[in-house]
Chain A
């Protein structure tokens, strides 16, 4: 697609994708009872919907949109998960979805269809749920369009790049009665569950400070605009973001660019870690936020800051976020500490430790993390798709964890302390800062 050419966000429904392979054998063997209904096709509004909701013993038909690094991790886990069947994979880069198909074939006897345009995926009636694993700037709109298409959604974190988008996502999920799970999978990891239980138990005393940090945050320098490679729909990759010429730095390093990700690791690991902080301190709306950052690379490039220190004020608890070039706390490249009046708990994905030793709480060592894609978190989502229950990381919660770091990113931009009205989702007495709560979508895309 050429520069400036426009695409219709709601095209005519297309015929069902070819190569649909539904393998329920593994699942039925496992559950031993219950037979899924036939997946007939029914016209629904402007598109198509599944003939029936997913039954208690049925596999969930899924599609993975975004087949890059994280998308591939999800696909590897989902291909061997008998609670779902991979109906489709989709990426704006043809080579990526072709690789994804090969990966699925390698790991299972499934043969998903491949698509370059997500709208073809949303049009398929046998897709019950989509995994949104694209660059960040696409998360909100894909989630909203999927909800409107009658799909449940697993959306990677950060769930949004602005506050306005996040609220629109929650509204869409509620408006269409969809299950939307955020990819904050640490909620489903025993090490964090146990650590948070310990914090809640009061054995650390009253927790009045928490800190979270990550120490790997290095974006490349320079940019080399050029024609997009064959098979990549660059305009669709940009989607709602401002038009910019293709460069491998943007495509491969989107997390460093403010148009696609609002803070680099701040909105990447920051969401994961602040999510646990919120859980631990039982508060998810900061009262104020301030931040300081810098970018001290030689030569310009990706425009997000590399080093950030942020301070959040929550009711009864201060929280700090540190983002540096390298490990910041001894041998721990990332982690969270809860500081209570009687003790301190450190936790990461492998372990939690409590000091002082005379509190008598032994170090907990969890199962090593085998993949960033977390099967228990997937399964919690699938269970909720079947039962219509609330997932472990419901979109509202995922939004609030994302919102916290977005606010820090805004404080960084406006270079001042901001007071936040969590209920109104507006800054107090700072209309200029409030402008950063939303961004204009490039037409024809809209929230």
Chain B
């Protein structure tokens, strides 16, 4: 019988092996099959090949290239996508040899004998894979071909961005016609390689104005102030068509110079010269913005002068943008000094700028204008206050809400709410606290009141204590969310006002009747020494286990002579003797992690015992979470059992119980199928409030 059985097993193994091999052949076709699939007529095979061919890397490239040249769009399109994937995946450190080989093979697509359409496909692929040092001769040769192809070669070289690519573009520059010279210069500017600077510098004295402007744009990207004079010369000699571009190049050079640091004087000097030289207002405005970006208070007279000039109204946006980015205390004072003499529209915009600067220096002015009779100025000042995120901005906004018309009130409240939110995001406690407290006072709906209370909870300020304390015991207090009260209690404790904090805590405890509420209380007050016992959580246990257990056993098997408990007893399980040990959980929700205590085990059970004393007999609810099943006995009577394979959800199981006056024995059996193993238990009133009990350590 045994030999026959062995043979049968051997046959089964062979059949299984054959099936696995067959499956693996289907799942991973070889390169030949994939190439055939990509180039064939079966779309499903093509989709599979499209997905799997990139795994073959450079080894697949030579097989794919003929497919790229096929006329059938279904084939060449798919082959291009696969080659893109391969080019991208081999272009990482560690695969240099594959990368070079892939580039070399793809380069054959741009060989002279290839039709233009194939060359274009090669030019799309090469930038993905060509590396520094790679010979680009065949691509460079295309810069002398027809306009469409040379443009694609130029674009490919620019995207390769290697030194060889830049040199190829630079070498093509002298012999190109002006239009293509401009295109080459644009590419060289974007690549910004020192090796091609001589070619760009040669072009800046071209007889063609458009070439000079293109060269100026390219030089601007160097951020080198030594080219300032050359760029101004291009501007001075520009024709009507290229003058703007030439001026724009100067502005770009100024920003590139300023952004890299170390050339502050040269940068400001460039923008001063530009603002004095440019005759077009768009460029003049850009020069003024540049002055504001890199200048200090010394540039303010220039900016004000621009506003006073005949083109002042047109230059306002630029000057305001310059004011907005101008930095430094000296600049802020100078702006404040200049404010009163400015046109009204500029003032209105500047009030917003002042708000954005978030400097208390501007607060008195913003406060003053928040009560201005000119509605444009008033609204601008209010917007500035809201944007300022200064705690001092809250009071003027509150005053506005108090005094505004009914029509204005929603907008005013929205401003205050946004300000509160901005303070909250910035972590500005005082400002947020006062704004939310004010919103609480103004709230005209339950929703807005709750929103404000949420803010008060997060950022309680002394004035908020009074508001909350005044409500304690009153009808309104009963409506406050538990989390809000916990926040206030914590703030009171933080402020050293323990008596008031205790009063709030005593008031809130009966209302902790949900898991969410309990979580909020513990997460808020846990950090200041609030103990789980105050929420009815049992934390001191005697434990014994693990006992063998099977899910089908449920709670039918007796291990410790339950429901009787003898803490001095010992139990023999196999070759082990199990005894009761004391355990105090420090987890905020009273979690007893049996896996930590007994180890990661499957198919076991453990017991936990504790006692709680109450002054008189009382109806209560035992609330438990467990991973996995749980059974509870109170004073020897089974009150709850749930044979289940689950994770722990706090308070998930609930059982009504009656506690007797004095000591009450509480026994729990917790079962374990696999994975996590733990439980927690607390006692509440039937209404859900924590049940006060005396903690006893068994």
| Chain A interface (Cβ < 8 Å from any Cβ of B) | 3-4, 6, 8, 10-12, 37, 42-47, 49-53, 55-57, 148-150, 164, 171, 174-178, 197, 200-203, 205, 222-223, 242-243, 282, 294-300, 303, 342, 356, 358-360, 387-390, 413-416, 429-430, 432, 435, 438-444, 446-447
B99 CB to closest chain A CB (Å) equals 8
A410 CB to closest chain B CB (Å) equals 9
Q: How far, in angstroms, from A82 to B264 measured CA to CA in the complex?
A: 45
Complex A-B, nearest 3 residue pairs according to Cβ-Cβ distance, in ascending order? A45-B280, A177-B321, A443-B183
| Chain B interface (Cβ < 8 Å from any Cβ of A) | 43-44, 47, 50-51, 54, 73-74, 77-78, 81, 84-85, 88-89, 91-93, 124, 127-128, 131, 146-148, 151-152, 154-156, 158-161, 179-180, 182-183, 186-187, 190, 217, 240-245, 247-248, 251-252, 255, 278-283, 285-286, 288-290, 293, 311, 313-314, 316-318, 320-322, 324-325, 345, 348-349, 352-353, 356, 376, 380, 383, 421, 424-425, 451, 454-455, 458, 481, 514-516, 519, 523
Is there contact, CB below 8 Å, between A12 and B425?
no
Q: Which residues of B contact A57 (CB under 8 A)?
A: 376
Instruction: Find B314's partner among A50, A200, A205 (CB 8 Å cutoff).
Output: A50
Q: How far, in angstroms, from A278 to B519 measured CA to CA in the complex?
A: 28
Q: Which residues of B contact A442 (CB under 8 A)?
A: 151, 155
Q: Which residues of A contact B217 (CB under 8 A)?
A: 446
Is there contact, CB below 8 Å, between A175 and B251?
yes
Closest to A414 in B: B88
26 CB contacts below 8 A, A to B, read A4-B147, A10-B242, A45-B243, A45-B281, A51-B314, A150-B282, A175-B255, A176-B289, A177-B318, A178-B317, A223-B73, A298-B43, A298-B44, A300-B73, A300-B77, A300-B78, A303-B77, A303-B81, A360-B516, A387-B352, A388-B316, A388-B317, A388-B353, A416-B92, A446-B186, A447-B190
Q: Which residues of B contact A149 (CB under 8 A)?
A: 282
Provided the pairs A46-B244, A356-B516 are in contact, do residues A430 and B317 lie with their beta carbons within 8 angstroms? no
Is there contact, CB below 8 Å, between A440 and B187?
yes
Is there contact, CB below 8 Å, between A12 and B289?
no
Q: Which residues of B contact A197 (CB under 8 A)?
A: 421, 451
Closest to A46 in B: B244
Q: How far, in angstroms, from A418 to B73 measured CA to CA in the complex?
A: 32
Provided the pairs A45-B283, A150-B285, A387-B352 are in contact, do residues A12 and B321 lie with their beta carbons within 8 angstroms? no
Provided the pairs A342-B519, A435-B127 are in contact, do residues A56 and B345 lie with their beta carbons within 8 angstroms? yes
Provided the pairs A148-B282, A415-B54 are in contact, do residues A387 and B348 lie with their beta carbons within 8 angstroms? yes
Provided the pairs A6-B179, A435-B128 are in contact, do residues A300 and B74 lie with their beta carbons within 8 angstroms? yes
Is there contact, CB below 8 Å, between A12 and B241?
yes
Q: How far, in angstroms, from A203 to B484 measured CA to CA in the complex?
A: 11
**Which residue, B148, B282, B380, has most C-beta atoms of chain A within 10 A?**
B282
Interface of B is mostly: helix
Is there contact, CB below 8 Å, between B183 and A202?
no
Closest to B179 in A: A6
Q: Which residues of B contact A430 (CB under 8 A)?
A: 92
Is there contact, CB below 8 Å, between B179 and A444?
yes
Q: Which residues of B contact A282 (CB under 8 A)?
A: 425
Is there contact, CB below 8 Å, between B88 and A432?
yes
Is there contact, CB below 8 Å, between B183 and A444?
yes
Given contacts A414-B91, A430-B92, 9 further A-B contacts (CB under 8 A): A10-B245, A45-B281, A150-B282, A243-B151, A298-B43, A358-B515, A388-B317, A438-B159, A444-B182
Q: Which residues of B contact A298 (CB under 8 A)?
A: 43-44, 47
Q: Which residues of B contact A413 (CB under 8 A)?
A: 84, 88
Instruction: Find A200's partner among B85, B154, B425 (CB 8 Å cutoff).
Output: B425
Count of A-B residue pairs with CB < 8 Å: 213
Q: How far, in angstroms, from A390 to B455 measured CA to CA in the complex?
A: 26
Closest to A224 in B: B73
Is there contact, CB below 8 Å, between B186 and A443?
yes
Is there contact, CB below 8 Å, between B318 and A176?
yes
Q: Which residues of B contact A438 (CB under 8 A)?
A: 159, 161, 190
Is there contact, CB below 8 Å, between B314 and A52?
yes
**Which residue, A150, A389, A415, has most C-beta atoms of chain B within 10 A?**
A389
Provided the pairs A150-B285, A175-B290 are in contact, do residues A46 and B316 lie with their beta carbons within 8 angstroms? no
Q: Which residues of B contact A50 (CB under 8 A)?
A: 314
A175 CB to closest chain B CB (Å) equals 5
Q: How far, in angstroms, from A203 to B179 measured CA to CA in the complex?
A: 61
Is there contact, CB below 8 Å, between B421 and A200?
yes
Closest to B514 in A: A358
Is there contact, CB below 8 Å, between B348 and A177?
no
**Which residue, A11, A174, A282, A390, has most C-beta atoms of chain B within 10 A?**
A174
B340 CB to closest chain A CB (Å) equals 19
Provided the pairs A51-B313, A176-B318 are in contact, do residues A299 and B286 lie with their beta carbons within 8 angstroms? no
Q: How far, in angstroms, from A43 to B325 measured CA to CA in the complex?
A: 27
Q: Which residues of A contact B241 (CB under 8 A)?
A: 8, 10-12, 46
Instruction: Find A202's partner among B88, B156, B353, B458 (CB 8 Å cutoff).
Output: B458
Provided the pairs A10-B245, A177-B318 are in contact, do residues A49 and B77 lie with their beta carbons within 8 angstroms? no
Closest to B99 in A: A432
A219 CB to closest chain B CB (Å) equals 13
Q: Which residues of A contact B318 (CB under 8 A)?
A: 176-177
Q: Which residues of A contact B282 (CB under 8 A)?
A: 44-45, 47, 49, 148-150, 176
Provided the pairs A45-B243, A56-B348, A414-B88 are in contact, do residues A174 and B73 lie with their beta carbons within 8 angstroms? no
A204 CB to closest chain B CB (Å) equals 12
Q: How far, in angstroms, from A243 to B148 measured CA to CA in the complex?
A: 8
Is there contact, CB below 8 Å, between B255 and A171?
yes
Is there contact, CB below 8 Å, between A443 and B180?
yes
B232 CB to closest chain A CB (Å) equals 16
Q: Which residues of B contact A295 (CB under 8 A)?
A: 50, 81
A361 CB to closest chain B CB (Å) equals 9
B26 CB to closest chain A CB (Å) equals 17
Is there contact, CB below 8 Å, between B281 and A44?
yes
Q: Which residues of B contact A10 (CB under 8 A)?
A: 241-242, 244-245
Q: Which residues of B contact A3 (CB under 8 A)?
A: 148
B282 CB to closest chain A CB (Å) equals 4
**Which residue, A299, A414, A432, has most C-beta atoms of chain B within 10 A?**
A432
Is there contact, CB below 8 Å, between A441 and B186?
yes
Q: Which residues of B contact A200 (CB under 8 A)?
A: 421, 424-425
Closest to A390 in B: B356
B490 CB to closest chain A CB (Å) equals 14
Q: Which residues of A contact B454 (CB under 8 A)?
A: 201, 203
Is there contact, CB below 8 Å, between A44 and B183?
no
Q: Which residues of B contact A148 (CB under 8 A)?
A: 244, 248, 282
Is there contact, CB below 8 Å, between A177 and B286?
yes
B159 CB to closest chain A CB (Å) equals 5
Provided the pairs A6-B179, A415-B54 are in contact, do residues A443 and B151 lie with their beta carbons within 8 angstroms? yes
Q: How far, in angstroms, from A176 to B293 measured CA to CA in the complex?
A: 11
A431 CB to closest chain B CB (Å) equals 8
Q: Which residues of B contact A440 (CB under 8 A)?
A: 154-156, 158-159, 187, 190
Q: How far, in angstroms, from A175 to B291 measured CA to CA in the complex?
A: 10
A291 CB to closest chain B CB (Å) equals 12
Provided the pairs A388-B349, A440-B159 are in contact, do residues A175 and B43 lie with their beta carbons within 8 angstroms? no
Provided the pairs A6-B179, A299-B43, A443-B183 are in contact, do residues A388 and B281 lie with their beta carbons within 8 angstroms? no
Provided the pairs A174-B289, A175-B255, A416-B89 are in contact, do residues A12 and B240 lie with their beta carbons within 8 angstroms? yes
B407 CB to closest chain A CB (Å) equals 13
A189 CB to closest chain B CB (Å) equals 14
Provided the pairs A201-B454, A435-B159 are in contact, do residues A175 and B317 lie with their beta carbons within 8 angstroms? no
Closest to B255 in A: A175
Is there contact, CB below 8 Å, between B314 and A432?
no
Is there contact, CB below 8 Å, between B380 and A387?
yes
Provided the pairs A148-B248, A175-B290 are in contact, do residues A201 and B455 lie with their beta carbons within 8 angstroms? yes
Q: Which residues of B contact A56 (CB under 8 A)?
A: 345, 348, 376
Q: How far, in angstroms, from A46 to B279 measured CA to CA in the complex?
A: 10
Q: How far, in angstroms, from A150 to B244 measured CA to CA in the complex?
A: 12
Closest to A445 in B: B186
Q: Which residues of A contact B160 (CB under 8 A)?
A: 435
